[in-house]
Homo-oligomer: A and B are copies of this chain.
Amino acid sequence: MSTEPVWPAELFTDLDRTGPIPLYYQISSRLERAIRVGTIPAGARLENEISIGEQLGLSRPTVRRAIQELVDKGLLVRRRGIGTQVVQARVSRPVELTSLHEDLNRSGISPTTRVLSLERMPADAATAQLLNVAVGTEITRIRRLRSADGTPMAVLENMLPPEFADITIEHLEAKGLYEILRARGITIKIANQTIGARRTHGDEHELLDLPKGSPLLTMERVAFDQGGRVIEAGQHCYRPDLYSFSTTLVAR
């Protein structure tokens, strides 16, 4: 038995057709909320694209684009000849271009940061290559301890190119690095990151309150702006009992 297709048109009565927010985005964000809160239940079939367009006074490509956004997020599945359905599986938000600081904030946890060191130094060969600057360029090296509710969670090491030489300890203890960068108009567009594991080195076990030689979850990241300039390179390690990376993968 197949159920009737659903379309809660009442959610879309007051679309703003003149403002700066794209119509497809207004549709997809309301639809996403309706799915996440359960107004549209898992497994429900949506009405077809043309019919939705007629009800909303929109062309099919616009409706299609809105739906595609949620297909890409893994909330909807489209099948030719069948229709569009809400996915049955729970979907977690993808690994995004955010910092640990923002992740924690979103979880309702108030992160604190202790700056362990903040120094300017000439780039050695490895760092110069990483940041794509000349050897000997004065770069900024930061080492921070990030805690959540008083419990140490991660040791964060970052290298910054010379343009950020004026960042202070006060900045870093008040806000996350990505927040500071964004306030300067820096937009991170692309990042390459690698997740791995290793034992604690040096003082990491003390900082993270772990036995010496414990396993750590590690993440290395190089972040670029729109023009391909390196904005930061980080080598971070996390307490694996307190932190992990979750994501939802969607097949193309």
Contact = CB atoms under 8 A, between A and B. Distances in A.
Given A197-B216, A197-B240, A191 B229 contact: no
A159 interface: no
A interface SS class:
strand
Nearest to A92: B192
Contacts of A195: 195, 217, 244-246
Contact of A246 (B194, B197, B198): B194
Name the residue among A188, A224, A251 with the largest chain B CB count within 10 angstroms: A251
Interface of A: 42-43, 61, 74, 77, 79, 85, 87-92, 95-97, 187-199, 214-218, 222, 224, 226-230, 240, 243-251
A191 B248 contact: yes
Given A196-B217, A196-B240, A215-B215, A190 B226 contact: no
Contacts of A74: 190
Given A97-B251, A192-B90, A197 B226 contact: no
Copy count, this protein chain: 2
B197 A248 contact: no
Contact of A249 (B87, B97, B228): B97
A203 to B, nearest CB: 18
Contacts of A250: 97, 189-190
B251 A188 contact: yes
Contacts of A42: 228
Given A89-B228, A226-B79, A228-B43, A95 B247 contact: yes
Nearest to A216: B197
B191 A224 contact: no
A191 B87 CA distance: 11
A198 B226 contact: no
Contacts of A61: 61
Contacts of A216: 197, 215
Given A77-B226, A191-B249, 4 more contacts: A88-B228, A89-B222, A95-B247, A197-B216
